């Protein structure tokens, strides 16, 4: 893993959690308005809705990643209706968002 890559996101996460930055892009992702609203919401409960391939999973994975950076050594349970949904739709988003070497997963 590239430590500079992680440090960059760690600094972003610290500023984000304090409300100092509004995240509109993350890595290679340019976020749409619904993703920006969801990602930058700090309400106790947030909902994002949209059609197939509208970016819901990517927005949720980015938010999950930033929360993990801000609150290290935690565990996250990520589920879907079926295992095949996790393998085909969720894990590719995790692999795109999380820097290599920063996660473990079990299916």
Contact 17, 107 (CB under 8 A): no
Phi, psi of 21 (to 5 degrees): -135, 150
Condensed to tens digits (0 to 9), the pLDDT of residues 81-98 reads: 999 988 998 899 889 888
Q: Write out pLDDT tens, residues 23-76.
A: 999 988 999 999 999 999 988 888 888 888 888 999 999 998 888 888 888 787
DSSP lists the bridge partners of residue 30 as 25
CA dist 55 to 12, 22, 80, 87, 93, Å? Answer: 21, 18, 16, 17, 10
Residue matched to tokens 């290290």: 72
CA distance 33 to 2: 30
pLDDT at position 3, please? 64
29: enclosing H helix or E strand: strand 29-30
In terms of pTM, does the model score above 0.75? yes
Give 79's DSSP letter.
-
């Amino acid at each position: 893993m590239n430590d500079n890559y992680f440090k960059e996101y760690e600094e972003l996460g610290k500023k984000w959690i304090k409300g100092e930055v509004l995240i509109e892009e993350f890595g290679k992702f340019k976020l749409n308005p619904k993703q920006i609203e969801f990602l930058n919401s700090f309400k106790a409960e947030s909902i994002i809705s949209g059609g197939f391939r509208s970016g819901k999973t990517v927005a949720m994975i980015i938010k999950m990643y930033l929360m993990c950076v801000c609150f290290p050594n935690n565990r996250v349970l990520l589920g879907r209706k079926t295992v095949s949904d996790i393998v085909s739709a969720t894990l590719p988003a995790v692999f795109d968002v999380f820097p290599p070497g920063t996660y473990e997963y079990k299916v």
